[in-house]
Amino acid sequence: MHSVRQTGRWIVIDQDERVASAISNWAPRFTTNGVTVSDFQRVTSGIRRWSEWCSAWSAVGLEHEELGRRALDQGRTLSAGQHLAQAAVYFHFAKFVFVEDVAQMREAHRRAVTCLDAALPHLDPPGRKVQLPFESTALAGVLRLPPVEGPHPVVVLLSGLDSTKEELRSTEDTFLARGMATLSVDGPGQGEAEYDLPIRGDWSPVAEAILDAVHGMPELDGSRVAVWGVSLGGYYAPRVAAALGDRVKACVSLAGPWDFGACWDGLPQLTRETFEVRSRAADDAGARRIAHTLSLEGVAQQITAPLLIVFGRQDRLIPWQHAELMRDSAGGPTELLMLEDGNHGCANVAPWHRPYTADWLAARLTPR
Count, residues in the chain: 368
pLDDT at 2: 39
pLDDT at 12: 37
126-368 topology per CATH: Rossmann fold (3.40.50)
How do residues 39-48 score in pLDDT, each as one tens digit? 999 999 999 9
Low-confidence residues of the chain, pLDDT below 50?
Answer: 1-13
Asked: is 1-124 a CATH 1.20.1440.110 domain? The reply is yes
pLDDT at 367: 72
How do residues 317-364 score in pLDDT, each as one tens digit? 999 999 999 999 999 999 999 999 999 999 999 999 999 999 999 999
Burial letters 8-33, b for 16+ CB under 10 A, else e: eeeeeeebbebbebbeebbbbbbbbb
Residue intervals of the chain classified under CATH 3.40.50.1820 are: 126-368
Given CA atoms 207, 251, 24, 173 in this order, what sign does their dihedral have?
negative
**Alpha carbons within 13 A on the beta-carbon side of 195:** 9
- Dihedral class, residue 254 (left if φ above 0, else alpha if ψ from -120 to 50, else beta): beta
- Measure the CA angle with vertex 148, ends 142 and 153; round to 5°: 55
pLDDT at 8: 41
Cβ contacts of 219 within 8 Å, gap of 6 or more? 143, 145, 150, 151, 152, 181
Residue intervals of the chain classified under CATH 1.20.1440.110 are: 1-124
pLDDT at 16: 86
pLDDT at 33: 96
How do residues 24-44 score in pLDDT, each as one tens digit? 889 999 999 999 999 999 999
pLDDT at 14: 56
